[in-house]
């Protein structure tokens, strides 16, 4: 297979189905030359795309969304086959992709330049122009949605983009890019380059002609990417890991909170940056809350995400599953928590060929245990109790992360304190893990730099020029 003009045949990367280990496709292992070609072509495409009227750009995004919605089922099946999530979640993610494009299509023309007049300086005008070629490096956990968060504001503002998907989940991104192209997106405005982080990711991060880099992934890779990007002074947005806390107060609606905990943790097999990764429950209601989450979890159907009624699929990779099991075992072996349910690879012979892990609840967990401090990217819910709100907020803030946190209560003073005192980019009240495209999304501390989504995302892909006219 060839990618890029005049290239030699490439080595191939196999894409595996996490449910059974079978090979479902192959993509080229791109080279530095492929990344450079893509940037060159995207730079050439910029000159006409940046001059295309915003209304016409919006039309293409609307048409793309419509096409994606029409092909939702097929795209969702592909997503489940390469990523592992239940088909219901894939259907929602594909719909989310379309919704994000529609959102940016609907607001792309709504950022006119500002102007004013001063007796000293004359006319003061702020004009906004697209940056040029932007790059995105994305992970495997929500490939379609994260791709939309990157391409939506970039394309709507007249920039072009080179996007590197994860090497383990590139197929849905390629299929989605095909829909944009079939909807009239001019050639080379969006380039997808497949390959490894060390080759393609590094090439994009260091490329002098890329003006902006939006990275989503782990903290360690984010730090590396930021340092690779620094010498070329590109605008860099980092969306990194999280260890979201859920605080369940004594007056919480117990059933709603238990349902929220279970869906907020086991959604996408626990592999979501804003999943609930730690629960702090008030000691007065801890017993009932724990019984309720155990009961809900016991009804889970685990299996291949394409089977009907499956609530939780496999972990994305075998390595990911082994890491999750290791941290559970270490918690138990060091007496820092107890297994209430789960803690095993799988309980059915038919699941052995996939990367399955049973939904796991740990109780009496030491708030200083690594399972509470580090990001555990898998279906493990550690629970511990608190007696005062001060204590709960202190625990919630006591990690290097600051992505999201939720508080479950109907008390106005508690809500007010949580909003004020929780160090997180997103604070939910009586809900968790909901991310509408209309509002900013991103984290504090090691969870990242910058925000995506919302109208401000458009601004981050525009250069401002101040013009002072003395008539
Ligand atoms: P990862 O950091 O391993 O990889 C992310 C991307 O970076 C991949 O495309 C990878 O190929 C690329 N990459 C790897 N090494 C690179 C290098 N040296 N230079 C340039 N690029 C390189 O992350 P992952 O395992 O794919 O994803 C899981 C992580 O992503 C979790 O930590 C999760 O919390 C985080 N995440 C964050 C958000 C958010 O919006 N904050 C959303 C989803 C996932």
How far apart are the CA of 69 and the centre of ligand 1, in A? 27
34 lines ligand 1 (CB under 6 A): no
**Would you say the CB of residue 270 lies under 6 angstroms from ligand 1?**
no
Rounded CA separation 77/71 (Å): 10
Q: Which of 82, 85, 134, 150 is catalytic?
A: 150
Distance CA 310, CA 88 (A): 9
Helices (H) and strands (E) in the chain, counts: 15, 20
Q: Which atom of ligand 1 is nearest to the CA of 217?
A: 30
- C-beta of 206 in contact with ligand 1 (< 6 A): no
How large is the average pLDDT for residues 253-281? Answer: 98
Q: CA end-to-end span of the chain, whole Å?
A: 61
* Residue 162 β-bridge partners: 135, 191
Q: Has residue 53 got a pLDDT over 90?
A: yes
What H or E segment, with its residue span, contains residue 445? strand 444-445
Q: Which CATH superfamily is domain 12-240+447-469 in?
A: Aldehyde Dehydrogenase; Chain A, domain 1 (3.40.605.10)
pLDDT digits (tens, 9 = 90+) for 293-311: 999 999 999 999 999 999 9
Q: How far is the CA of 218 from the centre of ligand 1 (A)?
A: 5
| Catalytic site includes residue 249 | no
Q: Whose CA is nearest to atom 42 of ligand 1?
A: 273
Domain segments of the chain as ranges: 12-240+447-469, 244-436
Helix (H, G, I), strand (E, B) or coil at 383: strand
- Of 404, 459, 438, which Cα lies nearest the Cα of 100? 438
Mean pLDDT of 146-173: 98
- What are the DSSP calls for 194-236, one per residue? -S-IIIIIHHHHH-TTEEEEEEES-HHHHHHHHHHHGGGT-EE
| Nearest residue to 210 (alpha-carbon basis) of 24, 5, 46 | 46
Respond yes or no: is residue 134 known to be catalytic.
no
Mean pLDDT computed over 10-19: 96
CA geometry: angle 155, 161, 166, nearest 5 deg:
120
Is residue 438 in contact with ligand 1, taking CB distance under 6 Å?
no
pLDDT at site 418: 98
CB 40 within 8 A of CB 141: no
How many Å lie between the centroid of ligand 1 and the Cα of residue 50? 29
255 pLDDT above the threshold of 60: yes
Q: How far apart are CA 156 and CA 57, in angstroms?
A: 6
Whether residue 112 has pLDDT greater than 80? no
Query: According to the model, what pLDDT value does residue 314 have?
Result: 96
Alpha helices in 299-431 (DSSP H): 318-333, 370-373, 389-397, 412-421
Q: Is the CB of 140 under 6 A from ligand 1?
A: yes
Which residue's CA is the nearest one to ligand 1's atom 16?
197
Residue found under tokens 């559970």: 328
Per-residue tokens: 239: 């969306």
Does the beta carbon of 172 sit less than 6 angstroms from any atom of ligand 1?
no
| Residues above pLDDT 90, as percent of the chain | 93
Mean pLDDT across the chain: 95
Closest atom, ligand 1, to C-alpha of 441: 40
CB burial of 269-287 (b: ≥16 within 10 Å; e: otherwise) equals bbbbbbbbbbbbbbeebbe
Cβ–ligand 1 distance for 197 under 6 Å, the answer yes
What's the CATH superfamily of 244-436?
Answer: Aldehyde Dehydrogenase; Chain A, domain 2 (3.40.309.10)
Catalytic residue among 134, 164, 273, 277: 273
Is 351 or 84 the better-scoring residue by pLDDT?
84
Task: Give the mean pLDDT of 41-60.
Answer: 97
3-state secondary structure of 57: helix
Least trusted range by pLDDT, from 119-133, 340-354, 426-440: 340-354
**R_g of the chain, CA atoms, integer Å:** 23
Is the pLDDT confidence value at 3 over 50? no
Question: Would you say the C-alpha torsion 226, 230, 232, 236 has a positive or negative sign?
Answer: positive
Q: Is the CB of 170 under 6 A from ligand 1?
A: no
Q: Separation of 239 CA from ligand 1 center, angstroms? A: 9
CA 279 – ligand 1 centroid, Å: 25
Predicted confidence at residue 7, as pLDDT, reads: 57
Please state, in angstroms and rounded to a whole number, the distance separating the CA atoms of residues 406 and 117: 45
> What is the three-class DSSP state of 177?
helix
Q: Does residue 150 have an active-site annotation?
A: yes
The distance from CA 240 to its chain's CA centroid, rounded to whole angstroms, is: 8
The angle subtended at Cα 188 by Cα 185 and Cα 191, nearest 5°, is 100
Mean pLDDT of 262-284: 98
Instruction: Name, in order, each residue with C-beta under 8 angstroms of 81's C-beta and a sequence gap of 6 or more.
Output: 17, 19, 24, 171, 306
Work out which ligand 1 atom sits closest to the CA atom of 452: 40
pLDDT for residue 346 is more than 70: no
**Active-site residue identified among 239, 269, 292, 375:** 239
Is the separation of the CB atoms in 389 and 417 below 8 Å? yes
- 153 ligand 1 Cβ < 6 A: no
Please tell me the residue having the least CA distance from ligand 1 atom 35. Answer: 217
pLDDT at 334: 97
79: confidence class by pLDDT, cuts 50, 70, 90:
very high
Q: Residue with the nearest Cα to atom 26 of ligand 1? A: 139
* pLDDT range class, residue 347, cuts 50, 70, 90: low
Query: What's the pLDDT score for residue 184?
Result: 98
* Predicted pLDDT of residue 351: 58
Do residues 237 and 449 touch, judged by C-beta distance below 8 A? yes
Q: How many A from CA of 319 to the centre of ligand 1?
A: 15
Return the ligand 1 atom nearest residue 165 CA.
9
Nearest CA to ligand 1 atom 20: 201
Pocket test for ligand 1, best of 167, 194, 221, 400 (most atoms within 8 A of CB): 221
102 and 65 Cβ atoms separated by less than 8 Å: yes
Burial of 59 (0-12, 13-18, 19+ CB in 10 A): middle
């Amino acid at each position: 297979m060839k990618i890029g003009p005049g290239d030699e045949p490439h080595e191939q990367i196999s894409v595996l189905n996490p449910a059974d280990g079978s090979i479902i496709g192959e993509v080229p292992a791109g080279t530095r030359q492929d990344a450079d070609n893509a940037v060159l072509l995207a730079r050439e495409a910029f000159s006409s795309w940046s001059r295309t009227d915003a209304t016409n750009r919006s039309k293409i995004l609307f048409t793309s969304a419509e096409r994606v919605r029409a092909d939702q089922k097929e795209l969702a099946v592909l997503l489940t086959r390469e990523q592992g999530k239940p088909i219901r979640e894939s259907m929602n993610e594909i719909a989310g992709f379309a919704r994000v494009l529609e959102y940016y299509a609907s607001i792309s023309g709504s950022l006119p330049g500002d102007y004013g007049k001063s007796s000293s300086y004359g006319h003061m005008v702020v004009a906004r122009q697209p940056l040029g070629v932007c790059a995105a490096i994305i992970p495997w956990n929500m490939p379609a949605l994260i791709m939309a968060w990157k391409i939506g504001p970039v394309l709507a503002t007249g920039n072009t983009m080179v996007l590197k998907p994860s090497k383990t989940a590139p197929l849905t991104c390629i299929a989605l890019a095909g829909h944009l192209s079939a909807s009239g997106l001019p050639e080379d405005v969006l380039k997808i380059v497949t390959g490894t982080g060390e080759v393609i990711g590094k090439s994009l991060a260091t490329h002098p002609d890329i003006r902006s880099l939006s990275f989503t992934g782990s903290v360690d890779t984010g730090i590396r990417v930021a340092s690779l990007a620094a010498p070329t002074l590109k605008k860099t947005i980092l969306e990194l890991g999280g260890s979201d806390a859920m605080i369940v107060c004594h007056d919480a609606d117990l059933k709603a909170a238990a349902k929220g905990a279970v869906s907020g943790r086991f959604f996408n097999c626990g592999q979501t940056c804003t999943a609930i990764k730690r629960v702090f429950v008030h000691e007065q209601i801890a017993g009932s809350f724990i019984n309720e989450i155990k009961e809900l979890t016991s009804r889970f159907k685990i299996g291949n995400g394409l089977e009907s009624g499956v609530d939780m699929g496999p972990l994305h990779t075998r390595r990911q599953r082994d890491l999750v099991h290791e941290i559970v075992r270490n918690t138990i072996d060091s007496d820092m928590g107890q297994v209430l349910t789960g803690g095993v690879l799988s309980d059915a012979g038919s699941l052995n060929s996939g990367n399955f892990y049973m939904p796991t609840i740990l109780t009496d967990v030491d708030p200083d245990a690594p399972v509470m401090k580090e990001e555990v990217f898998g279906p493990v819910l550690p629970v511990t109790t608190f007696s005062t709100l001060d204590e709960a907020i202190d625990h919630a803030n006591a990690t290097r992360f600051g992505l999201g946190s939720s508080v479950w209560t109907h008390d106005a003073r508690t809500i007010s304190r949580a909003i004020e005192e929780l160090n997180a980019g997103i604070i939910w009240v009586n809900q968790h893990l909901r991310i509408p495209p209309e509002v900013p999304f991103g984290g504090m501390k090691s969870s990242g730099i910058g925000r995506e989504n919302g109208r401000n995302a458009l601004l981050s892909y525009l250069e401002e020029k101040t013009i002072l006219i003395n008539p």
